[in-house]
Amino acid sequence: MIAIVTSEDGQKRCKWAASVTEFIDYHDTEWGFPVGDDIRLFEKLCLESFQSGLSWRTILAKRENFRRAFMGFDFNKIADFTDADITRLLSDEGIVRHRGKIEATINNAKKAQEMVAEMGSLAAYFWRYEPSSESMNEPQTQSTSDVSKAIAKDLKKRGWKFVGPTTVYAFMQAMGLINDHAAECIIRSKAEKARQQFKRP
């Protein structure tokens, strides 16, 4: 599999990023960069859950609509959503209207509150799973890992929903728990520098 291509600007990037113009900014400034903010972590995990079975292009195009519909992904607010909110969301054409995923987001918001009460923060929970660089395979050669399976298993045990190993692995890539930029990608070194400077919780 060719994981690298030359973009229109002449720079080498991960193949998936160069496939669609709107992916470039997300790839260059977000994907693979470390995140320690709980609201952003919750948002990324929720969006990866909504992406399951769909294209990331669909989710990215609707991200601002998702943020508006889900109160900026503030899980303390989402945890209080009622049946009326579910009805509202199911009629919102700006997001993915999947009842199971909507209900899972509300459920997971409550579980996030429980996790913060126990662990101190979502960041503290997820970053404790950071794998060593020596244990990593070549970038973008897998869609799950032992770590993503372990996280998914533990989240399920804690009552979280729509967070299987593949979804969790995509979340790990997005939040910078791993640097999965291709070896020759111009962003890989930038993401790695950010990871080195990032203060783990």
Examine the residue annotation and report whether 64 is marked as an active-site residue of this protein.
no
| Residue 181 is labelled as binding a ligand | yes
| Residue 185 is labelled as binding a ligand | yes
Taking the C-alpha atoms of residue 181 and residue 185, their distance in angstroms, rounded to an integer, is 6
Examine the residue annotation and report whether 26 is marked as an active-site residue of this protein.
yes
Element (H or E) spanning 14, and its range?
Answer: strand 12-14
| Residue 27 is labelled as binding a ligand | yes
What residues contact residue 40 under an 8 Å CB cut-off, 6+ apart?
A: 73, 175
Nearest residue to 138 via CA among 191, 182, 194: 182
List the end-to-end C-alpha distance of the chain, in Å, as a whole number. 35
The one catalytic residue in 31, 43, 48, 169 is: 48
The one catalytic residue in 56, 129, 130, 184 is: 56
| Residue 98 is labelled as binding a ligand | no
Q: Are the C-beta atoms of 109 and 78 separated by less than 8 Å?
A: yes
Residue positions forming the annotated binding site: 14, 27, 181, 185
Residue positions forming the annotated binding site for Zn(2+): 14, 27, 181, 185
Q: Which of the residues are catalytic?
A: 26, 48, 56
